[in-house]
């Protein structure tokens, strides 16, 4: 869609009239009837026809508590009605804040997402121009930020929803390379002999059973006039998690195509901040492999090496995400020495049991970072909830024969155990945070029949990075 600003509303053509429940009386002058069937409830909408036969959509924004998720109201309206829209539609934005306008654009843009990418016939709709009527001085920047953000969310959703025979590790590498070319940043894909030579032993072990070889993607964006890296992002990029020889049950196994949700966030955020030209230096590292079953697969009982030199006893080949992340964390620390280090991963079923689909599990010993992330999560409605990294859990990872083992063997505190494992490979980084996004990155939605990608993480991490841009 195309977005622009106007200072006055043209009441004879189509428009959306957003309205909080408390503002019902104020919209009276814009609508043709005295009592519309509408109370401003969040996400509700009512179509009225104006005197010129134009459409007027009353859109309910609910109360203050709904402000962080305003995009959902716009998304729903656009998803359900855009097929009836003409080439132009206005949004009367006088009572919207800058935050609301950005969210509105994100929601409108998200409504253009095509999940049916693999149908033999693709229906493409012409995208309308959306005019925000606002007397703010200039909202061009806000409109652009919203549009880029929504478009990036759609792009990473396409990746997560893509089938695992298509989005191999190499495919993710190609995606990152072409994104880097289009959006002006650097991207290197480490694969084959180079992975071996550089010591990515854990990534190689996890990928051994697959015909699609593993890769490590290194994306570097330098927007500040210095060499130091402010923030490093690390993403789990398992393109399909069968569990390996510790094989998963077949029920819902097809959903394990989404086990690269963390990688998708990292790739998307780097692309977005490059497009926004943020004045900050950020690197993104994605460790990508397919966890497959084969005569050549790594086994429970194996002892493998890692980038850090620490040896790992494999108890369960389904605890593969922490292995590829271990290499990526050591690598990024050694090579870039970032000020902040954040990893994102669909890491455990445990976090889904603990927090459901409502918040990511957040692990850090840096309370300042925890509070910042938590507050940003509430603002953009991509919430996080802190879980502990108590010392008590250390002994669960002791191995008799190797430096560490990859699983405690206990069916308790799975998300914490995984986080404790990662911690060992962070070199006690003072500003490290791990986000377990297994519950929030992929799930049910009103817009698809099966579970699908949510786009979680793009707004949260971009907001965090934006907050670190030196003024
Ligand atoms: N990819 C899974 C975690 C997952 C579960 C993601 C559900 C999305 C939805 C991960 O690799 C895994 O299998 N974790 C196991 C680890 C266990 C074997 C130690 C788990 O959490 O059950
Ligand atoms: Zn697994
Ligand atoms: Zn996994």
Number of other CB atoms surrounding residue 125 within 10 Å: 10
Number of other CB atoms surrounding residue 355 within 10 Å: 21
Nearest CA, atom 22, ligand 1: 349
Residue 471 pLDDT greater than 80, yes or no: no
In 3D, which of 253, 280, 255 has the Cα closest to residue 269?
Answer: 280
pLDDT digits (tens, 9 = 90+) for 82-107: 999 999 999 999 999 999 999 999 99
Which residue from 348, 355, 357 has its CB within 8 A of the most atoms of ligand 1, so it is best to mutate? Answer: 348
Q: How confident is the model at residue 336 (pLDDT cuts 50, 70, 90)?
A: very high
pLDDT > 70 fraction of the chain, expressed in percent and rounded = 100
Residue showing tokens 């953009």: 380
* 321 Cβ closer than 6 Å to some ligand 1 atom: yes
**Ligand 3 geometric centre to CA of 241 (Å):** 5
Q: Which ligand is nearest to the CA of 350?
A: 1
pLDDT digits (tens, 9 = 90+) for 303-331: 999 999 999 999 999 999 999 999 999 99
Average pLDDT over residues 379-407: 98
Q: What is the pLDDT of residue 5?
A: 98
Which residue from 300, 318, 355 has its CB within 8 A of the most atoms of ligand 1, so it is best to mutate? Answer: 318
CATH 3.40.630.10 residue ranges in the chain? Answer: 151-467
Q: How confident is the model at residue 150 (pLDDT cuts 50, 70, 90)?
A: very high
SS3 at position 358:
coil
Task: Domain 151-467: give its CATH code.
Answer: 3.40.630.10
Q: What is the pLDDT of residue 187?
A: 99
* 316 Cβ closer than 6 Å to some ligand 1 atom: yes
Which residue from 160, 320, 345, 349 has its CB within 8 A of the most atoms of ligand 1, so it is best to mutate? Answer: 349
Residue 29 pLDDT greater than 90, yes or no: no
* 319 Cβ closer than 6 Å to some ligand 1 atom: yes
What is the average pLDDT value for the chain, to the nearest integer?
Answer: 97
pLDDT digits (tens, 9 = 90+) for 426-460: 999 999 999 999 999 999 999 999 999 999 999 99
Q: What is the pLDDT of residue 451?
A: 98
The strand pairing partners of 360, in sequence order, are 384
Task: Domain 2-134: give its CATH code.
Answer: 3.40.220.10
Q: Give Cα separations from 169 to 21, 24, 181, 257, 454 (angstroms).
A: 48, 52, 19, 12, 21
CATH 3.40.220.10 residue ranges in the chain? Answer: 2-134
pLDDT digits (tens, 9 = 90+) for 241-280: 999 999 999 999 999 999 999 999 999 999 999 999 999 9
Q: What is the pLDDT of residue 30?
A: 87
- The H or E element that residue 349 is part of is helix 349-355
**Ligand 2 geometric centre to CA of 301 (Å):** 16
Q: What is the pLDDT of residue 111?
A: 98
- What pTM did the predictor assign? 0.98
pLDDT digits (tens, 9 = 90+) for 108-137: 999 999 999 999 998 877 899 999 999 999
Q: Give Cα separations from 255 to 72, 160, 244 (angstroms).
A: 24, 10, 15
Helices (H), 93-200: 98-110, 140-161, 169-183, 192-198
**Ligand 3 geometric centre to CA of 245 (Å):** 13
Q: Give Cα separations from 32 to 19, 60, 329, 356, 405 (angstroms).
A: 16, 17, 60, 44, 69
pLDDT > 90 fraction of the chain, expressed in percent and rounded = 96
* 318 Cβ closer than 6 Å to some ligand 1 atom: yes
Residue showing tokens 């949260």: 460
Nearest CA, atom 19, ligand 1: 319
**Ligand 2 geometric centre to CA of 315 (Å):** 12
Q: What is the pLDDT of residue 126?
A: 85
Catalytic residues: 248, 322
Q: How confident is the model at residue 28 (pLDDT cuts 50, 70, 90)?
A: confident
* 300 Cβ closer than 6 Å to some ligand 1 atom: no
Residue 410 pLDDT greater than 90, yes or no: yes
Average pLDDT over residues 335-347: 99
In 3D, which of 454, 453, 455 has the Cα closest to residue 258?
Answer: 453
Q: How confident is the model at residue 363 (pLDDT cuts 50, 70, 90)?
A: very high
SS3 at position 29:
helix
In 3D, which of 178, 114, 201 has the Cα closest to residue 151?
Answer: 114
How far is it, in rounded angstroms, from Cα 431 to Cα 151? 30
* 241 Cβ closer than 6 Å to some ligand 1 atom: yes
């Amino acid at each position: 869609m195309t977005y622009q600003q106007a200072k006055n509303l043209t009441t004879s053509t189509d428009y959306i009239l957003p309205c909080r429940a408390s503002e019902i009386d104020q919209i009276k002058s814009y609508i043709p009837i005295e009592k519309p069937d509408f109370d401003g409830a969040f996400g509700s909408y009512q179509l009225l026809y104006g005197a010129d036969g134009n459409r007027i959509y009353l859109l309910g924004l609910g109360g203050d508590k709904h402000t962080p998720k305003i995009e959902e109201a716009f998304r729903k309206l656009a998803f359900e009605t855009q097929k009836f829209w003409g080439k132009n539609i206005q949004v009367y934005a006088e009572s919207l804040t800058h935050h609301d306008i950005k969210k509105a654009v994100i929601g409108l843009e998200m409504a253009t997402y095509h999940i049916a990418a693999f149908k033999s016939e693709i229906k493409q709709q012409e995208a309308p121009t959306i005019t925000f009527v606002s007397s703010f001085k200039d909202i061009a920047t806000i409109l652009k930020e919203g549009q880029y953000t929504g478009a990036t969310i759609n792009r990473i959703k396409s990746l997560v929803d893509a089938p695992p025979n298509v989005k191999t590790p190499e495919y993710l590498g190609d995606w990152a390379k072409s994104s880097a070319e289009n959006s002006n940043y650097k991207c290197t894909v480490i694969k084959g002999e180079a992975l071996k030579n550089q010591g990515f032993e854990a990534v190689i072990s996890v990928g051994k059973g697959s015909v699609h070889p593993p890769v490590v993607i290194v994306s570097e964006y330098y927007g500040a006039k210095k060499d130091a890296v402010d923030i490093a992002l690390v993403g789990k990029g398992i393109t399909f998690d069968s569990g390996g020889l510790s094989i998963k049950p077949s029920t819902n196994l097809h959903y394990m195509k989404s086990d690269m949700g963390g990688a998708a966030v990292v790739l998307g955020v780097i692309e977005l901040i490059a497009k926004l030209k943020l004045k900050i230096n950020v690197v993104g590292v994605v460790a990508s492999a397919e966890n497959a079953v084969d005569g050549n697969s790594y086994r429970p009982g194996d002892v493998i090496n890692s980038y850090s030199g620490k040896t790992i006893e494999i108890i369960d080949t389904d605890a593969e995400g922490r292995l590829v992340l271990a290499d990526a964390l050591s690598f990024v620390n050694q090579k870039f020495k970032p000020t902040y280090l954040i990893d994102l991963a669909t890491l455990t079923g445990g976090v889904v049991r603990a927090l459901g689909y409502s918040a990511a599990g957040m692990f850090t010993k840096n309370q300042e970072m925890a509070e910042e992330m938590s507050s940003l999560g509430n603002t953009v409605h991509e919430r996080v909830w802190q879980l502990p990294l108590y010392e008590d859990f250390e002994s669960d990872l002791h191995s008799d024969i190797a430096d560490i083992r990859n699983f405690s063997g206990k069916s308790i505190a799975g998300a914490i155990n995984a986080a404790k494992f990662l911690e060992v490979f962070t070199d006690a980084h003072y500003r490290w945070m791990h986000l377990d996004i297994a519950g929030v990155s992929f799930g049910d939605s009103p817009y698809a029949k099966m579970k699908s990608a949510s786009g979680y993480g793009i707004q949260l991490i971009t907001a965090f990075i934006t907050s670190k841009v030196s003024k």
